[in-house]
Amino acid sequence: MHFFWQRRKHFGLMISLMVVLALVSLCVPQERPVPGASNTIISHLVGKELFDFVEWMGDAWLEKAGQLSVPVQDFLATEQRSQFVLNFVRSLEDWWNLEWQVRQSYADASTTDPETQTQALRLKRDALRTEIERQRPTAEAIIQQQIASVLVAEGFGVGGEIFPPVAARITPLPYVLIISPRDEINRVSAEALQTGLSVDEADRIEAQVLHTTKQSALVVPIGGLAAYPTMIVETGDSLWLMQTIAHEWVHNWLYLRPLGYSYLAEEPVIRTINETVASLAGDELGLKVMRRYYLDTLKQEHPDWVEPKPLEAPDLDPIAPSPPKRESSEFSYNQALYETRLKVEELLIEARQLKVEGKLVEAEAKIVAAESYMEERRQFINSHGYGIRKLNQAFFAFYGAYADQPGGAAGSDPTGPAVVALRAYSPGLRQFLDRVSSILTQEELLKAVADFKAQR
């Protein structure tokens, strides 16, 4: 009787927390815009393609309530739980392989009757999808418990419980439409769009936004989204899956703290701190989950993996980071993006200055030069085996916020390296997150780095 009473209390508490955090996440989702005139126009343009968060969350809450009321995973031994998750992840990988074969058949001009020729593949794919949906709730519940156990070990538990509870749903994700001014790299708006958009549909939306608002637009795929429960893309990479779920949980944890709820301010510094913190902490937590529960799998999936060295603080004097060092003459994706952004920033700064001087024609010429240069660089980067669909101001505005690695799309923005330095000087992950969660400016960030460095 005591067990069932405790389960009932726990169930009621969890449902209450889910409702509260879901309401918060609807107000402060990481990929949704601040209301405004420009957003109103954009929302009108893409109205039919907008993602329905309310419907998705309603379905997700019902499913999570079922997981809590009938915890199938509690009847499995520790080894069985991990194996269940691995089987689920392999099913996802197999499904994507089948889906890719079907798509290739339809795209191949030499295929005369793709519907008939892919019938067996599609039947196998659809049967596997049914099995995945059967496995998914239990796999999610196991992963949630495993991440929660690591979080407790890192000092986040209160009475053995994690707040907010780890809650994730592995699901097809919406795309996100990113908007930036053409004369500046700055994300001014974002709209979540329906899942499964084609390349043609993305191109059409981007062209429509550019024509109507005269702003740079890019439809991007995402790996996770910090609703509540969080939305996690389907993947066959176990390490990436654990790190992404942990990354989005960090966003949930930040929601109730200044760095999280200030995301609505749409300040680039706040966004970069937020995303860089989540990337660093998520990668660290996800790796610890793999080492504790899936070490053999980690070594199999990533044969070159070695125990990571302690994080080194980058040189912040001068504050602006140096370009990433080339270890060889081989092509570097991060280096190429870094160099591209620096040149684009230079041209756009000149364009803004010309606008101030009233030289609008010359300013537009600088913007066009920047856009032409980005297209040249896109082709250059793709010639080395990459597949950037569009390289524009919105690209850098989105990807530049993820600044846990040196250089890359962030360019010379010193915010990311300062966050990395703060983590390097912090005695532990909990201390790092506690300190950074109240930081909203670059000045506060640099002061925190200096304080933690002095305490070492």
Cβ pair 160, 152 in contact under 8 A = yes
User: pLDDT value at position 327?
Assistant: 52
Domain assignment present for 406: no
User: pLDDT value at position 161?
Assistant: 86
Which residues are CB-neighbours of 364 under 8 A, at least 6 positions away? 351
Instruction: Count CB atoms within 10 A of the CB of residue 175.
Output: 23
User: pLDDT value at position 6?
Assistant: 43
Q: Domain range for residue 123?
A: 1-30+52-173+223-308
Average pLDDT, the chain: 86
pLDDT over 50 (residue 5): no
| Greatest pairwise CA separation for the chain in angstroms | 79
CA separation for the pair 128, 91 (Å, rounded): 7
Domain assignment present for 287: yes
Which residue in the block uniquely carries the two structure tokens 């194996």? Answer: 83
Domain assignment present for 348: no
User: pLDDT value at position 427?
Assistant: 92
Q: How many domains does the chain have?
A: 1
List, for residues 226-238, the tens digit of each pLDDT value: 999 999 999 999 9
For 191, list phi and psi in degrees, rounded to 5: -130, 130
Which residues are CB-neighbours of 61 under 8 A, at least 6 positions away? 18, 19, 22, 229
| Burial zone of 357 (CB within 10 Å; 0-12 exposed, 13-18 middle, 19+ buried) | exposed
Domain assignment present for 436: no
Cβ pair 339, 353 in contact under 8 A = no
Helices assigned H by DSSP within 119-237:
119-153, 199-213
Cβ pair 334, 402 in contact under 8 A = no
pLDDT over 90 (residue 356): yes
Q: Read off the pTM.
A: 0.85
Domain assignment present for 113: yes
Which residues are CB-neighbours of 408 under 8 A, at least 6 positions away? 324, 333, 334, 337, 338, 399, 400
Domain assignment present for 428: no
| Burial zone of 341 (CB within 10 Å; 0-12 exposed, 13-18 middle, 19+ buried) | buried
Lowest mean pLDDT among 150-154, 196-200, 264-268: 264-268
User: pLDDT value at position 35?
Assistant: 34
| Burial zone of 88 (CB within 10 Å; 0-12 exposed, 13-18 middle, 19+ buried) | buried
Mean pLDDT highest for which of 303-312, 342-351, 405-414? 342-351
Angle (CA) 255-85-81 rounded to 5° is: 100
DSSP 223: S
Domain assignment present for 335: no
List, for residues 307-316, the tens digit of each pLDDT value: 777 777 776 7
Share of the chain above pLDDT 90, in %: 60
Lowest mean pLDDT among 141-155, 294-308, 436-450: 294-308
List, for residues 362-381, the tens digit of each pLDDT value: 999 999 999 999 999 999 99
pLDDT over 50 (residue 3): no
pLDDT over 60 (residue 18): no
Question: Averaged over 134-141, what is the pLDDT?
Answer: 94
User: pLDDT value at position 77?
Assistant: 82
Domain assignment present for 388: no
Helix or strand run (H / E) with residue 424: helix 415-425
Cβ pair 229, 60 in contact under 8 A = yes
Question: Averaged over 428-439, what is the pLDDT?
Answer: 96
DSSP output for 275-291:
HHHHHHHHHHHHHHHHH
